[in-house]
């Protein structure tokens, strides 16, 4: 059998299938790429149209921009013309915002205080009732003493009037008796001179009688006559001596009675003057009492604001009487304190000043000189500077360890400087600054300077406000006094 060799084939059915599949893939890829090309072409056309539309919109926008520019120029002119009105409106708006913030702060304080006030209401009512009873009893006792004093004064005046009348009568009698004694002394002196002359003449006559006995008749008759006259003068002289003795005795008796009357009148006058002085002192004390504040305190610090506003009625008006009024008010409060023993006067602005010296030490109170010295020293100061209340209270409470029990605080405004502000204060308004400083001072007093201690009572703080117009000042001073068992008095503008 002949062997046949098979011719090898290049392409098989399998290879045809592979080629067909490859061709199909190529066709498929061509279609996909063609479709993507069409899509990209359509997208490019759309983008071209969008770009054309954007160019058109840009042109329109440029035209609109030119119109807007012209309008802005017109509005700028209008804005410049209305700038003053805008500034005025802005200022009013800022003031309204400040007032709103202040009212909101005050409202929050009131709400916080309301709880404490309701808690203290019962105790305060009881305390007021006890004080009223005590005041009524003291008033009744004072009225009774005044009535007794008036009765004694009237009795003393009547007795003094009677004694003065008797004294005038005695003075008249003594004057008449003295005149009679003086007249009788003059007569006695004249009689003594005449007696001496007569004795001299008698001696001469005796000598002449011895020498001229022949002529004795005439001389003896003259001698007898002279003797009779001499005896009459001697008798008259004795009578005058007796009358002088009697008048001297009467004068001595009248003098003793006069001395007794004078002593009694002097005593009554002294008692009258003492009673009148006591009554005057009581009236003066009653007139000088500073109404509205519980006048208590043994060791007291008078803390006085000497900032520049203390001589101003408002920001632009100088009042030359305001600072002297503050000084006189400090003196009036000082002399109204019945139990004051030691005191110190501290003035403050942006720094501390001791007008009476003795920094850090108490001054003994003298009712005669202390008030006058304090008032004159305060009047001599020129108010200036800001208001650093934190520094003032920090200095004042240095005396707490030395027995400080009461502070009388005199001011007309809110704190403007001191500790408690944040590092960046340039963004704060004046209202925000005073509010932050005020809260910091009140917190420092509660938690640090005047916190309750076991063996040391809290210091009472009384506040006196001068010529304040804003409710914030009154609210701050009132809260400061209320939180530390004190009272607040507002001095209105004269």
User: By C-alpha distance, which of 417, 413, 324, 341 is closest to 376?
Assistant: 324
Are the beta carbons of 212 and 222 closer than 8 angstroms?
no
Cα R_g (the chain), whole angstroms: 58
The segment(s) of the chain belonging to CATH 1.10.287 are 150-285
Instruction: Give the integer Cα–Cα distance in Å for 412 and 389.
Output: 12
Q: Is 222 exposed, middle or buried (0-12, 13-18, 19+ CB in 10 A)?
A: middle
Instruction: Give the integer Cα–Cα distance in Å for 239 and 245.
Output: 10
Model pLDDT, residue 298: 93
Q: pTM score > 0.75 for this model?
A: no
Model pLDDT, residue 83: 72
The segment(s) of the chain belonging to CATH 3.40.50.410 are 292-491
Number of separate helices (H) and strands (E) present in the chain:
8, 9
User: Which residue carries 């004080």 as its tokens?
Assistant: 131
Model pLDDT, residue 85: 74
Transcribe 412-436 into DSSP letters: SS---SSTT--S--TT--HHHHHHH
CA 114 and chain centroid, separation:
28
Q: Is 494 exposed, middle or buried (0-12, 13-18, 19+ CB in 10 A)?
A: exposed
User: Tens place of pLDDT for every residue, the chain, 494 residues?
Assistant: 455 555 555 556 767 777 788 888 888 888 888 888 888 888 878 877 877 777 777 777 777 777 777 777 777 777 677 777 767 777 777 777 777 777 677 767 766 766 666 566 556 656 655 665 665 566 556 656 656 665 666 665 666 666 666 666 666 665 666 666 666 666 666 666 666 666 666 555 555 555 554 444 444 555 566 566 666 666 666 666 676 666 666 656 655 655 665 666 566 667 666 666 665 555 555 454 565 677 889 999 999 999 988 888 777 778 888 999 999 999 999 998 989 999 999 999 999 999 998 888 999 999 889 999 999 999 999 999 999 999 999 999 999 999 999 999 999 889 999 998 888 878 889 889 999 999 999 999 999 999 988 878 899 999 998 865 677 888 899 999 999 999 888 876 65
At 345, is the secondary structure helix, strand, or coil?
strand
Residues 6+ apart with CB under 8 A from 164: 265
Architecture of domain 150-285: Orthogonal Bundle (1.10)
Residue 304 parent element (H or E):
strand 299-305
Model pLDDT, residue 405: 94
Instruction: Give the integer Cα–Cα distance in Å for 317 and 323.
Output: 14
Residues 6+ apart with CB under 8 A from 400: 449, 450, 456, 459
On whether the 292-491 domain is CATH 3.40.50.410, my answer is yes
């Amino acid at each position: 059998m002949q062997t046949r060799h098979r011719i090898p084939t290049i392409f098989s059915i399998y290879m045809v299938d592979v080629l067909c599949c490859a061709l199909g893939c190529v066709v498929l890829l061509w279609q996909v790429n063609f479709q993507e090309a069409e899509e990209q072409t359509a997208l490019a056309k759309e983008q071209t149209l969008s770009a054309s539309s954007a160019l058109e919109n840009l042109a329109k926008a440029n035209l609109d921009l030119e119109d807007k520019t012209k309008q802005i120029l017109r509005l700028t002119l209008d804005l410049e013309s209305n700038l003053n009105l805008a500034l005025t409106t802005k200022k009013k708006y800022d003031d309204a915002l400040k007032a709103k913030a202040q009212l909101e702060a005050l409202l929050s304080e009131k709400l916080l205080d309301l709880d404490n006030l309701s808690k203290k209401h019962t105790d305060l009512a009881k305390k007021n009732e006890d004080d009223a009873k005590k005041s009524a009893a003291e008033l009744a006792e004072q009225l009774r003493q005044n009535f007794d004093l008036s009765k004694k004064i009237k009795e003393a005046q009547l007795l003094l009037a009677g004694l003065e009348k008797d004294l005038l009568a005695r003075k008249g009698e003594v004057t008449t008796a003295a005149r009679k004694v003086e007249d009788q002394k003059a007569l006695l002196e004249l009689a003594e001179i005449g007696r001496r002359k007569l004795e001299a003449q008698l001696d001469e006559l005796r000598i002449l009688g011895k020498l001229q006995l022949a002529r004795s008749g005439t001389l003896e008759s003259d001698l007898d006559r002279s003797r009779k006259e001499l005896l009459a003068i001697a008798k008259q002289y004795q009578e005058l001596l007796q009358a002088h003795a009697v008048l001297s005795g009467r004068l001595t008796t009248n003098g003793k009675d006069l001395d007794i009357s004078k002593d009694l009148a002097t005593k009554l006058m002294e008692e009258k003057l003492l009673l009148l002085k006591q009554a005057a002192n009581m009236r003066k004390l009653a007139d000088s009492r500073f109404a509205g504040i519980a006048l208590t305190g043994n060791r007291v610090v008078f803390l006085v604001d000497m900032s520049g506003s203390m001589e101003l009625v408002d920001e632009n008006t100088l009042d030359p009487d305001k600072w002297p009024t503050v000084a006189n008010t400090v003196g009036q409060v000082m002399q109204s304190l019945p139990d004051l023993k030691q005191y110190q006067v501290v003035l403050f602005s942006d720094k501390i000043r001791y007008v009476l010296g003795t920094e850090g030490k108490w001054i003994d109170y003298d009712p005669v000189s202390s008030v006058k010295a304090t008032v004159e020293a305060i009047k001599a100061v020129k108010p200036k500077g800001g208001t650093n209340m934190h520094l003032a209270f920090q200095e004042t409470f240095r005396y707490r360890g030395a027995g400080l029990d009461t502070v009388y605080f005199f001011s007309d405004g809110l704190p403007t400087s001191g500790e408690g502000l944040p590092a960046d204060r340039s963004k704060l308004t004046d209202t925000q600054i005073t509010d932050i400083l005020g809260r910091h001072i009140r917190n420092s007093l509660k938690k640090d300077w005047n916190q309750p201690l076991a063996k040391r009572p809290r210091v009472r703080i009384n506040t006196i406000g001068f010529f304040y117009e804003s409710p914030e000042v009154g609210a701050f001073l009132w809260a400061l006094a209320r939180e530390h068992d004190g009272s607040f008095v507002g001095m209105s503008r004269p």
